[in-house]
Every structure is written in structure tokens, then in C-alpha cells.
Structure 1
């Protein structure tokens, strides 16, 4: 029987946000990240969507005893999608790997996009910096669509439940890359 693993491409890349064992760098081929706006909450979700011309880096980690309950609860808005055949990884044993994705039918087509949380972007980019270095974090920005949505600067009072404290060099990196993608930073009301 194959060992169950998940592929994380957002906050799950930041190993400070979970304690799933055996994390390893991996690549998901045929997918791209996008910010998805739904009616499920007032801020955007980072999700992955099929895109034959793209690939994204992330982390795989083991789900002990095939117990997906905690991860399913954490990723409550996402569907768990089998992705084993699309993932390149260093493991030599038989594994089944799933990826979480917000279904397209949950998307909100409202003209005013929900904001992206800066505290969430910070966590994701910190994970990429630590796992893949600045080049990998730059690839995160390059392989993610939806930066035209406003970015809510909630650093002073983080709204993301798994926010992390970033070093000054990390916040400077995030800020400079958001500037490069012409992100519009907005202040809380």
C-alpha cells in the first residue's frame, strides 16, 4: 500500500505552520497558482489550477496513518485532488500524493476582488525563501496569477491564523516583489 502524502504550494511550504513528517521539496507539473475569490470568506484563497504549460514548486509531506482529518479541516474550502502522477519528488518508495484546490464553481465573479492578506503572503514567501531561496521565492511570484487584487496590509494585526514573525530581510523581499508585480497595498479600515 502506498504511503499518503500531500503537496503544498502555499502556506504548507512554510514548515513552521505544520508538523507533518518527512517534508521534501517537489514539483507539481501541469498546474499553476492563482488567487481565487469566493463567497466563503472576505479574503482571497491561494489555489492551484490545471495549466498544461506550467509547473510549480512546493513541499510534499507524509500524512501518518492515512489520517487526513486535521489537514482537511485546515484546508476546508479546498477539494483534495489525486496528483501522484503529476509530481516529481525525491522519494523512492510508493506514495499517493494529493493536492488541495478550490473548485472553480466556488469562485466569485464579482468585479471587486477580495483582498489578499499580506500576513498570508508573508507566510508563503517565508516558506519559499527557506526551502528554495530567493530564486524559488521569485518563481513563486512568477507562477502565481491574480496580483491585480488589492493586498490588505494586516502586518500590524495579522488576520491569517498561522501568521509568522518575519525577519526584516524577509519583509523587505516580500515588499519588493509585491512592488514588482504592481500590487496595490491597502490599509485596514
Structure 2
């Protein structure tokens, strides 16, 4: 029996193809999970993770892990655990594949705080990826299927802290800002 090719399911910055070099990427969906903003002591700021939610399905991107070499991706996602997601993934690949998703397990994360905020530059990267992959409707689904928007968000757009930050067009920036305004999000100024 042939070994299945390894893939990961990205649901945050990994949806933005400009943040990684992984190939054979395809839009996909993860059922039974929801994105949420969380902080872990392994990182100075908050990031997205996924938590079980039987009533939710999220868009994302699957990408091939060449040669099954998870080391570089595991290092990038060092604050997360890699878990099997085969039963929860819907994807367009005709051949069977093994799909993993990165998640911060319950008990290893907490609510974002002013000391550990969400970075606006990170949100920008994620939304840019969703816009490119799924259009404006996909961006709206991203915001609607992500919990924790009461988290403090640091406005670092002028001097991005997120290491894989991207330059956004005016339209992309306005799209992010409009969704955050609709959610009544207050940005913290970078000191």
C-alpha cells in the first residue's frame, strides 16, 4: 500500500502563500473546528489557534510537506501541537493524503492580554491571504468563524512586529479596518 502524501491545513498566516514556500496548495475546509485568538507563554504575542466546535467549519489552505519533512514547519509553529485532521478535512485532491493541523491544546493557552496582544500586522497578513484565496466573502467568513475579537489588538502597522508581515494595498487595508470597525474592535497604539 502506497504511503499517503503529507499535507498541513493552514487557517491563519499559512493561508497567505507569501508567508511560506510550500507547494501544491489548495483551498480546503476544516469541519468541527473554530479559529480563536489565544496567547501561549511560548510566544510574546497572541496568535490564532483552532478549538473544537461541532457547529463550525472554517476555510483554509492545504499544502504539501515535501518528503514528509515536518522539521521546518514544526519550528515555525513551535507553540502548537500538530494533530491529525484527516477526518475533518474537505479538499480537492483526488488521491488520499494525510492532513495535519496545528493547534494549541486546551490548558496550554489563555486569553490575549495588553501584555500579549494580537498584532494588527498579523491580522493584515491573514486577511490578505483569505482575500486572495476566497475573495471578500471568504474574508467575511474568516471574521465570522473566528472567536475572541475582544482581544487587545496592537496597531503595529507602521512598524510591523510580525516577522512575516506583508505590504497591503489600500483596498486590503480598508477591508481589514472595515471588518474590525464592524466588530467594534479598539486598537492599542504602539508605544
Q: How many residues align?
A: 189
Alpha-carbon distance between aligned partners in 1 of 2:112 and 2:178, rounded to the nearest angstrom: 29
8 Å CA contact 2:49–2:102 kept in 1: the answer is yes
Query: What's 1:90 paired with?
Result: 92
CA offsets 1:60-87 (integer angstroms, 9 cap, x no match): 0000100001100100000000001100
- Equivalents in 2 of 1:111, 1:121: separation in Å? 16
Which aligned runs of 4 or more in structure 1 are off by greater than 6 angstroms?
A: none
Secondary structure at the aligned position of 2:79 is classed as coil
Report the secondary structure of 1:106's partner residue. Answer: coil
C-alpha distance in structure 2 between counterparts of 1:95 and 1:38, whole Å: 30
Q: TM-score, normalised by structure 1?
A: 0.96
Distance 2:177 2:113 in 1: 26
CA RMSD between the two structures:
1.3
Q: Does 1:156 align with 2:158?
A: yes
1:6 paired residue number = 8
Q: 1:114, 1:149 within 8 Å by CA — same for their partners in 2?
A: no
Of 100-109 and 58-67, more deviation after overlay is shown by 100-109
Corresponding residue for 2:168? 166
Q: 1:50 to 1:134 in 2, by over 3 A?
A: same
CA contact (8 A) 2:111 2:151 kept: no
The alignment's TM-score, normalised by the length of structure 2, stands at 0.95
Deviation string 1:112-153 (CA, Å, 9 cap, x unpaired) is: 673110000000000000000000001000000011011100
